[in-house]
Amino acid sequence: MSVCRESLKTMIEMVTETFRNGGTLFTCGNGGSAADSEHICGEFLKGFRMLRPLAADQRERFDSLFGVEGAETAAKLQNGLRCISLLSHPAYLSAFANDVDAELVFGQQLWALGRAGDVLLAISTGGNAANVKRALMVAKALGMRSILLTGNRHGCCEAYADCVVAVPESETYRIQEYHLPVYHLLCMTVESRLFGGNKA
């Protein structure tokens, strides 16, 4: 994985900066990469390896509004980071794919939800997924930055991404196996930077 060192650093910096500035991370992919897209969001929306308790003033607000139940609620809530998987709207996905164009199912959501300053993390093991390429195009048109997580096949999507993390494998299942430690490293490092000192 040493061949990815610099691109990993760039990816971590991009995502950390986006969250610090109140931006949103969007994820997308197909098949196993779709599952990875959801997995990444799961790690950012709640505590991963650290506790992310609400601040005292946030807890006090719940207590003042709802009493004991508010305090109980606030004690269990965790600070999350704004992360949206573009796989999470199945009714929309089926409708747009059927009625308009399946290649634009990610791009249309990004056009509606994305803003300049946000980041798209797009996953394509072969680097040639048409719907991923279109999403990367939309991200650029919106003024967003983008990261492509892929393998070493050097597909067409690379030309549209600001940062390419290409793991040193060409077989799909092996690429996916490398992607897991890559995005766990991303989630772990970003969490440490933003919530350091709150270890679980």
Do 70 and 85 reside in the same domain of the chain? no
Distance CA 105, CA 31 (A): 14
What pLDDT score was predicted for residue 197? 65
Q: What is the pTM of this model?
A: 0.95
Tally of CA atoms within 13 A in the half-sphere of 130 that contains its CB: 6
What pLDDT score was predicted for residue 133? 98
What pLDDT score was predicted for residue 44? 98
What pLDDT score was predicted for residue 62? 98
pLDDT values of the chain reduced to their tens digit, one per residue, 200 residues: 899 999 999 999 999 999 999 999 999 999 999 999 999 999 999 999 999 999 999 999 999 999 999 999 999 999 999 999 999 999 999 999 999 999 999 999 999 999 999 999 999 999 999 999 999 999 999 999 999 999 999 999 999 999 999 999 999 999 999 999 999 999 999 999 999 865 54
Do 64 and 121 reside in the same domain of the chain? no
Do 86 and 149 reside in the same domain of the chain? yes
Do 171 and 128 reside in the same domain of the chain? yes
List the strands of the sheet with 163-166, edge to edge.
83-85, 25-28, 119-123, 145-150, 163-166
Residue type, 132: V
Do 111 and 151 reside in the same domain of the chain? yes
Do 65 and 161 reside in the same domain of the chain? no
Residue 107 included in any domain: yes
Residue 200 included in any domain: no
Residue 165 included in any domain: yes
Residue given tokens 């195009």 in the structure block = 137
- Structural domain tally of the chain? 2
Do 175 and 155 reside in the same domain of the chain? yes
Do 70 and 84 reside in the same domain of the chain? no
Do 98 and 137 reside in the same domain of the chain? yes
Do 64 and 113 reside in the same domain of the chain? no
Residue 162 included in any domain: yes
Residue 188 included in any domain: yes
Do 101 and 71 reside in the same domain of the chain? no
Do 150 and 173 reside in the same domain of the chain? yes
∠ CA 32-35-37, nearest 5°, is: 110
CATH number at residue 38: 3.40.50.10490
Question: In terms of residue numbers, what domain contains 188?
Answer: 2-45+80-195
What pLDDT score was predicted for residue 198? 58
